[in-house]
């Protein structure tokens, strides 16, 4: 029987402020200390793929990386952050333990190559337009560039114009190629651009996403977490509170 790895990626969608990031990290560190979950703190210094030009993107790379480095040192949490351009890999790798390739960019060869050459773990989010088997090619790009470890994250497929649907068969399919397969339980319940100039979603389905992924053999789970999701500047419809996260983890 395979060992349940209890790998968790969690944190706010975007770095809104040092206060919000610190509050979230403190809650996650407390969760780590009372459980056996291995938690990677996730937050984005720049959300370059927001629906609207007017949407909040983050605090920028310089300030964002400073905040993430503070979190790493203060709470001992390893860091995951995403990059959107190849040149960002080197500075981000000085702080982050995992460099993430966004789903919309998962076929960008130069971006994947730069992340792989950084020496950090590379987490490639599966594009909403790819099957699980198609992910072998982005993963092969990372390995060819020297990546020491490659993860793949499932986050659903486009179903119609705005909605997502999850084919959980992608989890065992991607495990043929990736070192670990993670289920993104909060992005998977999004409706892309479903509320006009921003995405919507339905968090009622987040616990079910996690339990189904567990049944299909996921190595880890990904949740966007915020102290007050309804006030978040990005992904407010699909983030959950630390308390709700703790309940979901207990159910796994």
Q: pTM for the whole thing?
A: 0.93
Render the burial of 82-105: b for 16+ CB within 10 Å, e for the rest. Answer: bbbebebbeebbebbebbbbbbeb
CB 101 within 8 A of CB 46: no
Answer yes or no: is pLDDT of 194 > 70.
no
Residue 160 pLDDT level (bands cut at 50, 70, 90): confident
Q: Which candidate, 130, 17, 28, places its Cα nearest to that of 66?
A: 17
Query: Which residue, among 175, 178, 176, 154, has the nearest Cα to 166 in the 3D structure?
Result: 154
- Between residues 49 and 206, which one has the greater pLDDT? 206
Q: Cα dihedral angle (26, 233, 15, 17), rounded to 10 degrees?
A: -70
> Under 8 Å CB-to-CB from 74, ≥6 apart: which residues?
22, 25
Residue ranges of alpha helices (H) inside the chain are: 18-34, 61-75, 89-93, 109-117, 136-144, 170-174, 206-215, 242-251
Mean pLDDT of the chain: 93
100, 131, 139 from 149: Cα distances, Å:
12, 21, 10
- Please, which residues have CB within 8 angstroms of residue 47's CB and are 6 or more apart in sequence? 13, 14, 55, 56, 57, 58, 234
Question: Who has greater pLDDT, 190 or 172?
Answer: 172
What would the mean pLDDT of 12-21 be, rounded to a whole number?
Answer: 96
Does residue 227 have a pLDDT over 80?
A: yes
């Amino acid at each position: 029987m395979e060992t349940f790895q209890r790998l968790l990626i969690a944190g706010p969608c975007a770095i809104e402020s040092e206060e919000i990031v610190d509050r979230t990290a403190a809650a996650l560190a407390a969760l780590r200390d009372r459980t056996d979950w291995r938690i990677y703190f996730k937050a984005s210094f720049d959300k370059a793929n927001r629906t609207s030009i007017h949407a909040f993107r983050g605090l920028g790379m310089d300030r964002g990386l400073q905040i993430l480095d503070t979190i790493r040192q203060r709470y001992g949490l390893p860091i995951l952050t995403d990059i959107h351009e190849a040149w960002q890999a080197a500075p981000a790798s000085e702080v982050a333990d995992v460099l993430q390739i966004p789903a919309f960019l998962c076929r960008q060869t130069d971006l994947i190559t730069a992340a792989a050459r950084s020496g950090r773990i590379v987490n490639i989010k599966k594009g909403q337009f790819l099957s699980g088997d198609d992910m072998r090619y982005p993963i092969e790009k990372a390995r060819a560039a020297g990546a020491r470890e490659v993860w793949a994250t499932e986050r659903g497929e486009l179903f119609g114009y705005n909605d997502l649907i999850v084919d959980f068969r992608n989890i065992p399919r991607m495990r043929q190629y990736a070192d670990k397969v993670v289920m993104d339980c909060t992005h998977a319940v999004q409706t892309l651009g479903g509320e006009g100039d921003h995405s919507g979603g339905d968090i009622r389905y987040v616990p079910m996403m996690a339990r189904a992924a567990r049944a299909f053999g996921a190595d880890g789970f990904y949740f966007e977490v915020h102290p007050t999701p309804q006030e978040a500047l990005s992904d407010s419809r699909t983030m959950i509170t630390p308390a709700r996260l703790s309940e979901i983890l207990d159910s796994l």
